[in-house]
Amino acid sequence: MNKLFRRFKKSSLLEKRSKGKDRLLTAIRIIISVSLFTYLIVRSIPSLRTMPELLTGNNILYAILAFLAFSLGIFIQVLRWNALLLAKKIRIGKPFLFMSYYIGFFYSNILPSSIGGDFYRTYDIYKNRKIPLQKGVAVAIMERFVGMTVGMIFLLVSFSRIYFYLDLVSILSLSLLPLLGILIIFVFLKPKAFKIDRLFKKYRKLKKAEEKFYEIHNDLYLFKHNLKSIFISAGYGIVSQLVFVTSYYFVSLYLKIKLSYIVFLFLNPIILLSTILPISIGGIGIRENLAVFLLQEFGVDQNTAVIFSLINLAIILINASIGGITYIFKNIFYRSRGFM
């Protein structure tokens, strides 16, 4: 009996430590987000003072079109998700998927990384549509793989027009993130090539994780039998990214920034992928500072670059708020099983 009590006490202590650690990491990420955003605002006080002057006489229609284009991009990504679910013979109504994706977008902006939305959507279809977790995770990973591949294509296509703005070191550094993301996904696709089996054998504590890892790997591997769905998903991915690029371009037209469309074709995947890094809440602070830095590299003055990043942040937060309202609506009227 005493032995059982000691085990329970030890388990309870470990659980408390784990929760304490999670809270500490979340607090650190919030501090980083607030610090980076505060840094952006403080260094840009002169920019904000000139904001009324910069916006005077601008065509508000461009700002409205930027918001609409961004929202359309989210809807097209729902279609991308649906195409991969169909590859697994998972049929879920589009209204449910649309609500789930928008709520996921809300979580992407309040959790430590933009992949927080992936976790929510996977959990949502598991709890409310009884889809096995490993299938949902496999679909989410394939989504990321398709998105990063499309991003790399855009980087390569735009390279011919942007290489003279940036030095080689900057280009290689900015390309590192999508390459790293694709490499991580290849670990799931080809675990033997990366000696993952040896890693599991070496550390016995990873035994439970090994089973889940290979379940996900098997589900990912089965996508090869439905390449048509992957190509359809990639098509939606290309269209959605072009729509997001168009949103950036409309903001640039609103601010009278004289940069070609293809420059934003380069900027979008870099800025988007920066939000995956789990070092701030929803990428806030990192995304905005990176946007300012890159625009300055392309010859945009700091005042305009800061306002550009803040307008895009406002568009993101409005869409995230719509996701939050959708979450409340879904749980009240559909009695859906929540995430938190």
SS (HEC) of the chain: CHHHHHHHHHHHHHHHHHHHHHHHHHHHHHHHHHHHHHHHHHHCHHHHHCHHHHHCCCCHHHHHHHHHHHHHHHHHHHHHHHHHHHHCCCCCCHHHHHHHHHHHHHHHCCCCCCCHHHHHHHHHHHHHHCCCHHHHHHHHHHHHHHHHHHHHHHHHHHHHHHCCCCCHHHHHHHHHHHHHHHHHHHHHHCCHHHCHHHHHHHCHHHHHHHHHHHHHHHHHHHHHHHHHHHHHHHHHHHHHHHHHHHHHHHHHHHCCCCCCHHHHHHHHHHHHHHCCCCCCCCCCCHHHHHHHHHHHHCCCCHHHHHHHHHHHHHHHHHHHHHHHHHHHHHHHHCCCCCCC
Task: Write down the pLDDT at residue 63.
Answer: 93
Task: Write down the pLDDT at residue 266.
Answer: 86
Task: Write down the pLDDT at residue 11.
Answer: 46
**Does residue 77 have a pLDDT over 60?**
yes
Each residue of 220-264: pLDDT tens digit?
Answer: 777 777 888 889 999 999 999 999 999 999 999 999 998 999 889
Q: What is the mean pLDDT of the chain?
A: 78
Residue predicted with more confidence, 73 or 298: 73
**Does residue 21 have a pLDDT over 70?**
no
Each residue of 140-184: pLDDT tens digit?
Answer: 888 888 888 888 888 778 776 666 666 666 666 666 666 676 777
Most confident of the following: 168-172, 274-278, 301-305:
301-305
pLDDT tier, 10 (very low <50, low <70, confident <90, very high otherwise) = very low
pTM above 0.85, yes or no: no
